[in-house]
Amino acid sequence: MSSALENSIVYLKGVGPKRAELFEKLGIRTVKDLIYHLPRRYTDLSSPLPIAATVLEQPNVVKVTVVSKERPAMIRRGMTVYRLLVTDGADDMTVTIFNSQYAFDMLKQGEEYILFGKVTGNFTRREMSSPEIRRAGDADRIEPVYPLTAGLTQNILRNCVKNAISKMMPQDVEFLPADILDSAAMMPEAEALRLVHFPQDPNDITHARRRLAFDELLTLRLGMLSLRERNRSYTGYSMKNTDMTPFLAALPFRLTGAQNRAISECAADMQKSTPMNRLLLGDVGSGKTAVAAACCYFAAKNGAQSVLMAPTEILASQHFESLRGFLGPSGLNVSLLVGSMTKKQKEAVYMKMKTGEADVIVGTHAVFQEGAEYCRLGLVITDEQHRFGVEQRSALAKKGENPHRLVMSATPIPRTLALMIYGELDISVLDELPNGRKKVDTYAVTGKLRSRACAFVRKELDSGGQAYIVCPAVDEGENMFNVTDYAAELEKGEFKGYRIGVLHGKLPAAKKEDVMRRFKDGALDILVCTTVVEVGVDVPNASIMMVENADRFGLSQLHQLRGRVGRGERASSCILITDNVSEESRKRLKILSSTSNGFEISEADLEIRGPGDFFGSAQHGLPPLKIADLAADGELIKLSQDVADRIYDTGRITLPGCAALRKRVEELFSAAAD
Ligand code: ADP
Ligand code: MG
């Protein structure tokens, strides 16, 4: 399908090679790119205000007639000021224009104009400076405002877009069959594009946006479904149901209902002839490791090996300890494989893996490196997977012999978001904390109470506890310096005589591991750190956390952070220090004191801060959503998912009528891979 829209914009009227280069900077190469370069916002010229009603210090729209023009005044070299008097019939106002003879000349005495600009002055005298000027007759009522780059102006953009739109034929852009549009009450694509650029009234924007957001969500979902299909098109290890009693009997606790449910879901998956692809979504401390252990047990009893991969060595050894505790009593062999082991140690583990002596291998990336050969790898578990992208996730799936896959994420995210981000996975949720898990008492205080907070921390240290002191990573570049400085300050001041370790993202991995290890072993009293501790390291003796500048963090992130304490016998607390005394900040932090349910917190966070903050924006590896708003478009997400699932499940996606749709899906994912 080739249309005029696929042409380079060089061929568009008003665009030559020079301008084309500027457009290129905006990512615009073809006419179609230009059509999909959407307004960032709009200037509404449709309802001008009387001069007397304009809002001071704000941009306002007025409709006025030029009464008189003053002689231009050169106030200094290179700076000419032009003044005019305008009236709306009732009041008059001075308009000041700096340096633009063109704008000044454009305004003719006795003629009517729409002006848009900031109004200053007082209640009796008003002034507008450097307004945008439109002749009253031919002003669009609502004007698009585009993202720009130096050398391009709004006017150039508007004219070029207008031109491009006039060349667009409905069949060039429509990619959904008519009956689908009808059933979802969506307008044609061409109309949506025309209206999103040149709306006649605000409703047009809403409706056009709805169609374009729907497009985005629908193609994203379809892309996820085809990823899922790709992962599923292999046969995995079809396992037999297994008596879990010996495993359960060896556990030092009773599983929660949520854990039991998740284990049953995994067991059912592993009995199918296609590989399991499941996300285990659970709050901090919800007991994901025990679920992972159960799956390993299930696999081992079916004669298959399991591997659990963690992002850091310290997490890997922690999982190793836990799994050995859970599975050792049942006679399973659990082995650790990490990069820092000697060649000889590694080779010993390789041997156990190869011969099948090892039932479960726990490690870092080392578990997939050269030399690591498996005997019958039936289950791959990855922890904290949200740090990897979609592509990496599916690359992992191709390893081994099409094993079952379990992904553990410690970020409790709202279900709608989980469905978008992990759309190619099935989801099990651990929404229940084990009994006896201590609530972390959380207090938000202002900086004035810092020294009292420090005294509180010292008291905890003196009675044998350990503390985290967290400060935000403001600027990655300077941050290293900041944290180190800050720690030095604490060492000289409030925490003189205590053993303090420093941990931040810029440290080499080995150094990080070393500091974390010493803290875990009790050789340090205080760990001063940035959010690197967020990842689930277990130090049961750490019972207090103090967070500086707490309002700089997302609520979910703070919740993750405080999950580092309250893991042992000691009553635990978290002190959030903030100098932001605004009502909103207080309200936000109060949510943390009032609930310890990570899902509730993440819903609130999604509302307040939007989805970007759950992961650093690039980290989820998804194509960026330009239009749809995951926080606000709940209805639309549901609708697009239903429609996508129907198109997919009925096989309609493979029919000729959906060729254009298939192309869209491919484009979306290939753009994300760039
Ligand atoms: P997370 O989901 O954060 O990874 P973990 O698996 O590390 O949580 O479990 C947190 C702690 O709770 C561990 O010490 C674990 O042994 C314990 N635990 C797990 N499940 C239960 C349970 N059902 N009852 C009591 N304690 C449990
Ligand atoms: Mg964990």
Q: Tens digits of per-residue pLDDT, 400-421?
A: 567 898 989 877 777 766 777 6
Phi-psi region of 436 (alpha: psi -120 to 50; beta: other; left: phi over 0): left
pLDDT digits (tens, 9 = 90+) for 350-396: 999 999 999 999 998 888 877 888 888 999 998 865 455 555 555 55
Residues 6+ positions from 616 with CB-CB distance below 8 Å:
none
For the record, the structure tokens of 274 come out as 């296609």
pLDDT-based confidence at 285, cuts 50/70/90? confident
Closest CA to 108 of 86, 141, 130, 138: 86
Closest CA to 592 of 445, 448, 447, 457: 445
pLDDT of residue 616: 38
Is residue 536 lining ligand 1, measured as CB closer than 6 Å?
A: yes
pLDDT-based confidence at 622, cuts 50/70/90? low
Q: What's the CA gap between 236 and 278, in Å, rounded?
A: 14
For ligand 1, what atom is nearest to the CA of residue 284? 3
DSSP string, 489-542: HHHHTTTTTS-EEEE-TTS-HHHHHHHHHHHHTTS-SEEEE-GGGGTT---TTE
Q: Which ligand is located closest to the Cα atom of residue 286?
A: 1
Is residue 409 lining ligand 1, measured as CB closer than 6 Å?
A: no
pLDDT surpasses 80 at 591: yes
Residue minimizing CA distance to atom 16 of ligand 1 = 287
Query: Which of 572 and 229 is assigned the larger pLDDT?
Result: 572
Q: What's the CA gap between 432 and 257, in Å, rounded?
A: 8
Torsion of CA 628, 632, 635, 636, to 10 degrees: -10
pLDDT digits (tens, 9 = 90+) for 477-526: 555 557 888 899 999 999 999 999 998 878 887 888 889 889 999 999 99
pLDDT of residue 474: 56
pLDDT surpasses 60 at 564: yes
Give mean pLDDT, residues 520-544: 84
Mean pLDDT of the chain: 86
Query: Which of 40 and 575 is assigned the larger pLDDT?
Result: 575
DSSP string, 87-141: E-SS-EEEEEEES-HHHHHHS-TT-EEEEEEEEEE-SS-EEEES-EEEETTT--S
Question: What own/partner pairs with CB < 8 Å and gap ≥ 24 does 653-656 have?
Answer: 653/222, 653/226
Contact between 164 and 34 (Cβ < 8 Å): yes
Contact between 275 and 403 (Cβ < 8 Å): yes
Q: What's the CA gap between 133 and 362, in Å, rounded?
A: 68
pLDDT-based confidence at 111, cuts 50/70/90? very high
Q: What's the CA gap between 407 and 394, in Å, rounded?
A: 12
Is residue 598 lining ligand 1, measured as CB closer than 6 Å?
A: no
CB count within 10 Å of CB 598 equals: 27
pTM: 0.68
Identity of the highest mean pLDDT range in 256-265, 607-616, 662-671: 256-265
DSSP string, 618-638: GGG-PPPPSS--TTT-HHHHH
DSSP state of 617: G
Residue 403 three-state SS: coil
Give residue 260 CA to ligand 1 midpoint distance, Å.
13
> Which helix (DSSP H) or strand (DSSP E) does residue 606 occupy?
helix 598-609
Amino acid of residue 355: T
Q: What's the CA gap between 638 and 627, in Å, rounded?
A: 16
The residue written with tokens 């034929």 in the block is 169
Closest CA to 333 of 359, 356, 310, 304: 359
Is residue 610 lining ligand 1, measured as CB closer than 6 Å?
A: no
Say how many residues make up the chain. Answer: 674
Give residue 207 CA to ligand 1 midpoint distance, Å.
48
Ordered domains of the chain (ranges, CATH): 1-45+140-170 (1.10.150), 50-139 (2.40.50.140), 174-230+633-674 (no CATH), 245-430 (3.40.50.300), 440-614 (3.40.50.300)
pLDDT surpasses 80 at 180: yes
pLDDT of residue 614: 45
**Residues with beta carbon < 5 A to ion ligand 2?**
536
Give me the half-sphere count of Cα atoms (radius 13 Å) on the Cβ side of residue 332: 32
pLDDT of residue 62: 93
pLDDT digits (tens, 9 = 90+) for 425-484: 888 989 888 876 678 999 999 889 999 999 999 999 999 999 999 987 655 555 555 788
Question: Strands 112-121 and 132-135: what pairing?
Answer: antiparallel
pLDDT-based confidence at 619, cuts 50/70/90? very low
pLDDT-based confidence at 313, cuts 50/70/90? confident
Give residue 116 CA to ligand 2 midpoint distance, Å.
56
Residue 354 three-state SS: helix
Residue minimizing CA distance to atom 20 of ligand 1 = 287
